[in-house]
Structure 1
Amino acid sequence: MYDMSNERAFGQGDTLGGRISLARAAKGISVEDAANLNDVDPDVWTIWENDRDAPATHLLETVALTLDVSLLWLLDGRGFGPTWRREA
């Protein structure tokens, strides 16, 4: 697997939903787990990842903390992004 942890611009050309999806995948958690950690329905999380809606402003920081990314990266792709786990 390609290690994207050194890509400084990784995520900048993506959407908010795309970055949520990328960060969740990098963390290795399911939609259900991410949704449960943020006290939202998994269908709502999927809607966010598919850019059909976005998290409410007051939830954005919690989502960023759950995904181990900075709020700035989550919003526009700059800042501390996801760390991809290396496969052994």
Structure 2
Amino acid sequence: MAKRTTKTQVGKKAAKKTAKKATKKTAKIASDTAKALTSGPTLGGRIQLAREMRGLSAAQLARRAGILLKTLGNWESDRSEPRANKLQMLAGVLSVQPMWLLGGAASGMAPEFGPDLEETADLASKVDRLIKLHERMSTLLFEVQSEISRLQTEIEDAPL
């Protein structure tokens, strides 16, 4: 007798696939955090890394720092460097120490991503809970659909 795949099994597979994708996103956040703490090798790399860790686009950071997007692009690609006053302002907008932007890990200054990391961990925990609920709801939904199909078949096959 051939093995049949039920709707419940299909639902469980879909829920597991969704959970796996979310786990990969959580792992990427952790990887980005570790990367930020060890810092990029250049001033431009650290500016870009801090911007990404804050969840800002280049356009958002440029607007908040009061600079042209092209200027920020030049800084992040190490084609030019910000003057001291702009570096100080960038550090403030990005919530990192100016010395970390200048020297990275070699400066002995670690970026201060603390509160955002706590928020990220809290959100990751909530996402995990939502994934589990979604998986459970998907399973229950497919079980109910299977039961409805079974009952409809029984009704249709019942003698009149």
Query: What's the TM-score bracket when you normalise by the shorter of the two chains?
Result: 0.7 to 0.9
Please report the TM-score for the alignment, with normalisation by the length of structure 2: 0.48
| Structure 1: 5+ residue stretches without partners | none
Deviations 1:18-51 (A, max 9, x none): 0000000000001011001111100110110000
Mean Cα deviation higher: 1-10 or 29-38 = 1-10
The residue type paired with residue 27 of structure 1 is R
1:25 to 44, 52, 69: 52
Q: TM-score, normalised by structure 1?
A: 0.83
1: CA distance, partners of 2:66 / 2:36: 31
Higher RCO by CA contacts (8 Å cutoff, separation 6 or greater): 1
User: Among 8, 31, 38, which residue is 1:10 paired with?
Assistant: 38
2:110 is aligned with 1:80: yes
Please report the RMSD computed on the Cα atoms of aligned residues, expressed in angstroms.
2.3
* Partner residue in 2 for 1:57: 84
> Structure 2: which 5+ residue stretches go unaligned?
1-27, 128-160
Deviates more, 1:37-46 or 1:73-82: 73-82
- The reply on whether 1:69 has 2:96 as its aligned counterpart is yes
Structure 2 Cα separation of the partners of residues 67 and 24 of structure 1: 6
Q: Residues of 1 paired with 2:51 and 2:94: CA distance? A: 6
Closer, same or farther in 2 for the Cα pair 1:30/1:7, shift >3 Å?
Answer: closer
Q: Contact 1:69–1:82 (CA<8 Å) still a contact in 2? A: yes
- Between stretches 66-75 and 76-85, larger displacement belongs to 76-85
- In 2, the alpha carbon distance for the partners of 1:7 and 1:34 equals 20
- Identity across matched positions, percent: 30
